[in-house]
Amino acid sequence: MVYVDFSPLKCGLISLVLFLIVKFIRAYSEKSRLRLIPTVGPDGILTSYITVFKWISNANEVVNEGYRLYPGGLFKIPTLNGWEVVISGRELLNDLRGASDQVLNPDIFTEDALQAYYTMHPNVMKSSYHTDVIRTTLTRNIGVCLQDTYDEVKVAMSEKVPLSDDWIDIPAFQTALEIVVRISNRFFVGLPLCRDPEFCDLNINFTSDVFYNALTINQFPKFLHPIVGRIFTSRRASLRKAVRLLKPMIEERLKLREKYEDDWPDKPNDFIQWCIDAQQYAPLSLRTSLEDLCVRVLFINFAAVHATSAFTFALYNLACHPELVDSLRQEAEAAIEAEGWTKPALLKMRLLDSFLMESARTTGPRANGLLRKAMQDFTFSNGMTVPRGTYLSVATGPMLRDNTIFPDPEEFKPFRFAEKREKEGVSYKHQLVTPTSEWVLFGQGKHACPGRFFAGTTLKLLMAHVLLHYDVQFPNGSRELPQNFKRNADSAPDRSTKVMFRRRSRN
């Protein structure tokens, strides 16, 4: 009889060896299929991990190098998820934009990168009818609900940043996060739940957990994902909490809908109601599902929380450039005096729109974006072919700092885009929410971010309110912009930075 030692240590070593063998075979196979596409950094199976570690700490540096070495072409970079091909030219960007979802699919890439099946919910990608709700009903109601949204801006700001004649230190990123979640949920679920601290914390933590859980899962081979995806995620706990908090509201609305059908007195006008009304577009098994509606609320909060970084970067740039305050204030005051706190007033704030664009361009862009997965072999207009299964992205960070597109790209020119809009025939082109071949922050074509109009409105409301009610500066009057926190391709505001606020001076 043969006895085998199955001690935990030996089992662990065997599992590690098998894991490394699988990773090696996968890397070799992928590399051979992409051999005609140049590589940034060493391209050996083992030496490529030098670039992987650089990618983790500063992906912008890696993508910038590829953009410089292979202008207008393609290059590949090794990541923890495998090889990724990056597009570095506007001409090839048009190829990507014109490809159908059957050829280059953004949802599959996102699902793989975020491991959405495990970190969010299996239904999120299986049935994404909520995206159509965001693109249509939600967007149409931004103006209708603007007064309620601004009411939440006033209340949230007064609680989180009290008006004081003396300077007070505020932890900028965390405060911005709490304010953005409050404002967004006034639009998503309404009062009083949008002000419930437990509900707000749930959505903040869920967003953070998705990223960290996906990062963990992606360290393992795909065949282990069903196991580790259940071990290293907190989505079930998040969903249980969401169901507990949302259940009374949803059940009441479903009863009213059953009684009155499509309309009833004082029918709520918010995202959760629009999803209930749109459930005929969901699979039959998901209709009127309490759990599924809660998943949609968690998902849209995951998307909305990203406005936090843009708001924080804008505050940092305002503190760095106090000489801009008078121009921005005068524009906001004139627009609000003429139109009130309305959508037309926000459209008149061209200087503020330009300021937000330049803030995002210079401080907050991802290293790469417009993520796609090739569902079949795809040939670009330059003759280069990527095989089925390839992950693709666009070098969005370098594009937004390309001196052939934006002269003096490293210089912060707050009214750069407002000046462009003064030219005849392009007044609506150079706007924060308008995707172009130059402005790639919100994606391109039919896959441009469906929530960009709500995000843009939220940012303008917040910044206009700050301008009209507060003075802003860094401690000790510093004019130095804090260093960003970088992780993989993302670039986020430094979370330890404080911004000082006081009641606006009327001198």
pLDDT at 491: 78
pLDDT at 3: 45
3-class SS of residue 101? coil
Contact, 371 vs 37, CB < 8 A?
A: no
Q: Has residue 15 got a pLDDT over 60? A: no
For residue range 322-337, list pLDDT tens digits in order. Answer: 999 999 999 999 999 9
Strand ranges inside 106-214, DSSP E: 168-171
Across residues 6-13, what is the average pLDDT?
Answer: 57
pLDDT at 150: 96
Q: Has residue 27 got a pLDDT over 70? A: no
Q: Assign 2 a pLDDT band (cuts: 50, 70, 90).
A: very low
Contact, 121 vs 289, CB < 8 A?
A: no
pLDDT at 220: 80
Rg from Cα positions in the chain: 24
Across residues 448-457, what is the average pLDDT?
Answer: 92
More confidently predicted of 146 and 264: 146
Query: Residue 37 has which token pair?
Result: 């596409």
Q: Has residue 188 got a pLDDT over 90? A: yes
CA 486 to chain centre: 15
CA 314 to chain centre: 16
pLDDT at 1: 45
Q: Percent of the chain, pLDDT > 70?
A: 91
**What is the DSSP pairing of strand 385-386 with strand 485-487?**
unpaired
Q: Has residue 343 got a pLDDT over 80? A: yes
In angstroms, what CA-CA distances link 348 with 39, 329, 345, 358, 426?
A: 46, 13, 5, 17, 15
Q: Assign 265 a pLDDT band (cuts: 50, 70, 90).
A: confident
Amino acid identity for residue 172 in this structure: A
More confidently predicted of 59 and 3: 59
Across residues 469-494, what is the average pLDDT?
Answer: 87
Contact, 311 vs 463, CB < 8 A?
A: yes
Q: Has residue 34 got a pLDDT over 80? A: yes
Q: Assign 217 a pLDDT band (cuts: 50, 70, 90).
A: confident
Ligand-binding annotation for 145, yes or no, is no
More confidently predicted of 44 and 227: 227
Report all structural domains of the chain as residue ranges with CATH numbers, in order of start: 8-118 (no CATH), 120-365+401-439+441-503 (1.10.630.10)
3-class SS of residue 501? strand
**Nearest one of 271, 297, 81 to 206, comparing CA atoms:** 297
Q: Assign 4 a pLDDT band (cuts: 50, 70, 90).
A: very low
Q: Has residue 437 got a pLDDT over 60? A: yes
Across residues 437-442, what is the average pLDDT?
Answer: 87
